[in-house]
Amino acid sequence: MILLGRELCVLVVLLVNLRLASAKHSSYQWQDSLLATTSNSWQAYVRSPATRTVSPASIVANLTLGNVTNPNGLLTSGGKPTTLTRLNASDTAPTIVVDFGQNVVGFLSVSFAGASNNTPGVRLAFSETLEYLTDVSDFSRSYNGDSITPGTDQFAVPSGPYTWLDDHGCLHGTQVCADGLHGFRYLKIYLDALPADAPYTSAYGQVEIDSLSLNFTAFLGTPDTFTGWFESSDNQLNQFWYDAVYTNDMCIDTFRVNDTDPRGAGSASLVGKLVAYDGAKRDRDPYVGDLGVAARTIYLSHDVAIAARDVLADLGDHQRADGWIPPASINDYTLALFDYPLWWVVCGYDLYMYTGDESYIQSYYDNIALVLDSYYPSTIDPATGLVTKGLGTSGGYGDYAFLPRTGPVTYYNALYVQALDNAASIATFIGGHEGDAARWTARARNISASINTYLFDNSTGAYFDTLPGISHAQDGNSISITSGVASRAQAKSVLSYLAENNARFYGNAFYDNDATGSGFSQRVYAFISFFELEARFLTGLAGSALDEIRRLYGWMASNDPGITFWEGIGDNGSKYEGDYTSLAHGWSTGVVPALTNYVLGVIPTGPAFSVWSVKPIPGDVTWARGQVPTPNGAISVDWASANNYQKFRLAVSAPTASTGVMSVPVVDTSTSVSIDGQVAWSAMNALMDSATYADGYVSVTVSGGDHVITVG
Ligand SMILES: *[C@@H]1O[C@H](CO)[C@@H](O)[C@H](O)[C@H]1NC(C)=O
Ligand SMILES: *[C@@H]1O[C@H](CO)[C@@H](O)[C@H](O)[C@H]1NC(C)=O
Ligand SMILES: *[C@@H]1O[C@H](CO)[C@@H](O)[C@H](O)[C@H]1NC(C)=O
Ligand SMILES: *[C@@H]1O[C@H](CO)[C@@H](O)[C@H](O)[C@H]1NC(C)=O
Ligand SMILES: *[C@@H]1O[C@H](CO)[C@@H](O)[C@H](O)[C@H]1NC(C)=O
Ligand SMILES: *[C@@H]1O[C@H](CO)[C@@H](O)[C@H](O)[C@H]1NC(C)=O
Ligand SMILES: *[C@@H]1O[C@H](CO)[C@@H](O)[C@H](O)[C@H]1NC(C)=O
Ligand SMILES: *[C@@H]1O[C@H](CO)[C@@H](O)[C@H](O)[C@H]1NC(C)=O
């Protein structure tokens, strides 16, 4: 950011003083942080391949089988090829396992140098992990009857040099078929033929492979494409942020009819559009609830909000007459989920707040009203005032995890409160809808009160999942806090209950016991965990939020395939659905909004960040810097602490047309707080009208431009 001369003078003085005062503290980083906007040290964390054409990294040597010569030959094009020889089909199939070094997604192409003249077959199996790499793919895209291949991709190798593109289709009618797009890290290639492919391929012969490469089809997030970034004193957190962005990037792609999963999800209104998919290898259909996390990662990292907007608009266009919104295009837009119409409203609010997409909000305002005023009221039990699964059409409906629960589920009610309040804000921002805003706000408070009357379990201090109360779920407890249903005292007791009962070494489980489903107390979803992380930051428990991040993301990052974040984690840190589990799932990237919104501290409080809040919640992080894109230019933030947070400096550069609130932690109430060199606060006294104090923070309202606040 560009500091004004006056601020620079103040800073230089401060820096000199602080350098003397805090020379012994390793957290001292103020000088570095002055360099924030010119720094590009964050680029070292970026995981994207450098180009769309990706070469393999290595051969998994111990998995080579049969007669293979020069296995490393296929790592580079030209030079001596890799030879697979099988003189007799009864011999071991010559097999080679290629490692791309990290999870990737796209179309493979294989450059053959030649082959014996009997069209020997090759079979390809793809997997995200070595654990699930067998002779068939690890359920890379579904092959349970709805694909043209039985789990491997096939090719008949001609005798002369030939480059084969592994795209979806068959060489001969319904024989010698390949599936096309794959999300994977490991690739097994072996010389073999399916009996069903006779006479077009032979299970013996010789094949020479010159090289392999992948056409990476997802969003290629090279450093120059980042419109937002994050860096802090904690290198591990930094790497999680960029790993999560890469995970999300792998799920942003053009909607192509033969690359969807399941196959029936193809939709004419989506084909050709850029969308945010659910998973890279599986669930290649955009689901709206997932965007509650994935779209926020998009807005904070790259200028591709269109990938979220395309999905939201398409689902809005398929709204049912009773107000219900389909979760995805799957089953011709009929998959019955109960929570996703609420996520559709919440995601519309996020789109408006982060990108200021006025035309989306105007176009879909009536659809939002229909969701809130028609569909959900049809499921409210007049006796309790609570949304009650089982009423109206909702009986057989599922949710983000297809949970077998019914009745007045806390999660649905808290999410309804959130959607009502978000919609009331939209109505207020765009104007002319005061009646809607008032009605939605009143209903939100009413439901909020009912949640607290009927669903708060006074014996444990946490919300029941539903009634009768047999378990406590992470989703309802977390969203009761983020939506403001819980008081601060309730929030603290809920979060301590979750910490005591749901913490596992690989994250926090989504249930405290197995009464609702077998294994639920051991299952962790990074998706729904994001809302617990948010709840912890909002309740001032940054230390416990960072601890949860380190367990959850640390576990995924340190287990195969590494880097990308999983759809779900099961017992003892396993892949929760075995080889079916997708290990690059956009909904699991909440570490991006968690760190940007709360540790860096930037949140939009008006559309397009016309109004914003910057409130760092540091935990044990001692400095952070970064950038958040807005339609009117970036908001740059740079903060650093010293002397165990007794000294704190926050610099913000924001678009001039905006206004905001800058908040700094004050651990010593006798201290003073200055903005742009003028004392705003001293020993618990406001010296400026724009300065206020609450919950350990001094906040100052500012107009856009460059500002520096210092504490101590
Ligand atoms: C083969 O090597 C990989 C490391 O490249 C290792 O993870 C794996 O356990 C080994 N497998 C066997 C069967 O030895
Ligand atoms: C292995 O393949 C080579 C050709 O690359 C061939 O000369 C040799 O006979 C084969 N060995 C066996 C045991 O099949
Ligand atoms: C392959 O080996 C089997 C015995 O293992 C033999 O009967 C057969 O003739 C061999 N085929 C060729 C093409 O050499
Ligand atoms: C990569 O695949 C995409 C999607 O099929 C295609 O549009 C593009 O042309 C391909 N690029 C190359 C270099 O083959
Ligand atoms: C999709 O795949 C089917 C075969 O499974 C093929 O007939 C069709 O042409 C493909 N469509 C496109 C757009 O590639
Ligand atoms: C609040 O809930 C009660 C039932 O508990 C209902 O009678 C009343 O109409 C509701 N008010 C609003 C504003 O929704
Ligand atoms: C828990 O206590 C509060 C305050 O006394 C009460 O309003 C609420 O109904 C109680 N919760 C339940 C489930 O009984
Ligand atoms: C649980 O996971 C740990 C670490 O991966 C492993 O050492 C242990 O054997 C596993 N225990 C069970 C019961 O699977």
CA of 454 to the centre of ligand 6 (A): 15
Phi and psi at 363, nearest 5°, equal -65, -35
pLDDT of 38 above 80? no
Residues 472-494 have a mean pLDDT of 98
Helix axes 340-355, 410-430, angle to 10 degrees: 40
Q: What pLDDT, on the 0 to 100 scale, is given for residue 242?
A: 98
Q: What pLDDT, on the 0 to 100 scale, is given for residue 26?
A: 35
Q: Name the residue with the closest Cα to ligand 7, atom 6.
A: 453
Q: Whole-angstrom distance between the N-terminal and C-terminal Cα of the chain?
A: 23
Q: Hey, which residues does 623 pair with through a beta bridge?
A: 640
| 586-612 tens-digit pLDDT | 999 999 999 999 999 999 999 999 999
Q: How remote is the C-alpha of 2 from its chain's centroid?
A: 32
Instruction: For residue 685, count CB atoms less than 10 angstroms from its CB and return exposed for 0-12, middle for 13-18, buried for 19 or more.
Output: exposed
Tokens representing residue 593 in the block: 């909004």
CA of 67 to the centre of ligand 2 (A): 6
Residue to substitute in 556, 572, 574 for testing ligand 8 pocket (most ligand atoms within 8 angstroms of CB): 572
Peptide bond into 561 cis (omega under 30): yes
Residues 226-255 have a mean pLDDT of 98
Residues 517-529 have a mean pLDDT of 98
Residues 31-50 have a mean pLDDT of 76
The beta strand positions in 534-677, using DSSP E, are 602-604, 611-614, 623-628, 635-642, 647-665, 672-675
| 422-437 tens-digit pLDDT | 999 999 999 999 999 9
Q: Name the residue with the closest Cα to ligand 3, atom 4.
A: 90
Contacts 24+ apart (CB under 8 A), 574-577: 575/129, 575/131, 575/132, 576/523, 576/524
**Contact indicator for 72, 59 with CB cutoff of 8 Å:** yes
Q: Hey, which residues does 456 pair with through a beta bridge?
A: 463
Same fold, 6-32+608-711 and 223-597: no
10 Å Cβ neighbour count for 254?
14
10 Å Cβ neighbour count for 518?
9
Q: What pLDDT, on the 0 to 100 scale, is given for residue 39?
A: 77
**Cβ(257) to ligand 5 under 6 A?**
yes
Residues 95-115 have a mean pLDDT of 98
Q: What is the DSSP string of 530-549?
A: HHHHHHHHHTT-HHHHHHHH
pLDDT of 256 above 80? yes
Residue to substitute in 446, 447, 452 for testing ligand 6 pocket (most ligand atoms within 8 angstroms of CB): 446
Q: How remote is the C-alpha of 9 from its chain's centroid?
A: 41
**Contact indicator for 275, 311 with CB cutoff of 8 Å:** yes
CA of 391 to the centre of ligand 7 (A): 24
Residues with CB under 6 A from ligand 8: 572-573
| Cα 652 from Cα 625, distance rounded (Å) | 10
| Cα 96 from Cα 189, distance rounded (Å) | 5
Q: Hey, which residues does 678 pair with through a beta bridge?
A: 675
Q: Which ligand is nearest to the Cα of residue 452, counting in written order?
A: 7
**Contact indicator for 108, 166 with CB cutoff of 8 Å:** yes
Q: What pLDDT, on the 0 to 100 scale, is given for residue 25?
A: 35
| 123-141 tens-digit pLDDT | 999 999 999 999 999 987 7
Q: Name the residue with the closest Cα to ligand 7, atom 4.
A: 453
Tokens representing residue 400 in the block: 């983000």
Which region among 30-34, 37-41, 312-316 has the lowest average model confidence (pLDDT)? 30-34
Q: How remote is the C-alpha of 486 from its chain's centroid?
A: 25
| Cα 434 from Cα 429, distance rounded (Å) | 10
Residues 238-256 have a mean pLDDT of 98
pLDDT of 408 above 50? yes
pLDDT range class, residue 24, cuts 50, 70, 90: very low
Q: What is the CATH number of domain 223-597?
A: 1.50.10.10
pLDDT range class, residue 37, cuts 50, 70, 90: low
Q: Which atom of ligand 4 is nearest to the CA of 106?
A: 2
| 6-32+608-711 is classed CATH 2.60.420.10 | yes
**SS3 category, 512:** coil
Alpha carbons within 13 angstroms on the beta-carbon side of residue 20 total 5
Q: What percent of the chain has pLDDT over 90?
A: 91
Q: Which ligand is nearest to the Cα of residue 493, counting in written order?
A: 7
Q: What pLDDT, on the 0 to 100 scale, is given for residue 143?
A: 76
Tokens representing residue 576 in the block: 């929760």
Helix axes 291-301, 340-355, angle to 10 degrees: 10
CA of 66 to the centre of ligand 3 (A): 16
pTM, to two decimals: 0.94
10 Å Cβ neighbour count for 558?
9
Residues with CB under 6 A from ligand 4: 107, 215, 217
Residue to substitute in 65, 98, 127, 130 for testing ligand 1 pocket (most ligand atoms within 8 angstroms of CB): 130
Q: What pLDDT, on the 0 to 100 scale, is given for residue 299?
A: 98
pLDDT of 2 above 50? no
Q: Which ligand is nearest to the Cα of residue 149, counting in written order?
A: 5
**Contact indicator for 5, 600 with CB cutoff of 8 Å:** no
Q: What share of the chain is helix, strand, coil (3-state, %, to 5)?
A: 35, 25, 40
Instruction: Sketch the domain layout of the chain as residue ranges.
Output: 6-32+608-711, 53-216, 223-597
| 143-183 tens-digit pLDDT | 777 789 999 999 999 999 999 999 999 999 999 999 999 99
Which residues fall within 8 angstroms of residue 569, CB to CB, at 6 or more apart?
506, 507, 523, 524, 525, 526, 552, 555, 556, 575, 576
Q: Name the residue with the closest Cα to ligand 1, atom 3.
A: 60
pLDDT of 195 above 50? yes
Tokens representing residue 169 in the block: 């289709």
Q: What pLDDT, on the 0 to 100 scale, is given for residue 16?
A: 32
pLDDT range class, residue 32, cuts 50, 70, 90: very low
| Cα 155 from Cα 69, distance rounded (Å) | 21
**Residue of 4 and 279 predicted with greater confidence:** 279
Q: Name the residue with the closest Cα to ligand 8, atom 9.
A: 572
| Cα 44 from Cα 140, distance rounded (Å) | 30
Place of tokens 């400096």: 649
CA of 188 to the centre of ligand 8 (A): 27
**Contact indicator for 584, 280 with CB cutoff of 8 Å:** yes
Pick the CATH number of 53-216 from 3.40.50.1370, 2.60.120.260, 3.40.630.10, 2.160.10.10: 2.60.120.260
Which contiguous run of DSSP H or E holds residue 112? strand 95-115
**Cβ(258) to ligand 5 under 6 A?**
yes
**Cβ(453) to ligand 7 under 6 A?**
yes
In the predicted model, what is the mean pLDDT of the chain? 94
Phi and psi at 555, nearest 5°, equal -65, -50
Tokens representing residue 340 in the block: 């996703």
Q: Which ligand is nearest to the Cα of residue 88, counting in written order?
A: 3
Q: What pLDDT, on the 0 to 100 scale, is given for residue 147?
A: 85
Residue to substitute in 167, 256, 258 for testing ligand 5 pocket (most ligand atoms within 8 angstroms of CB): 258
**Contact indicator for 192, 92 with CB cutoff of 8 Å:** no
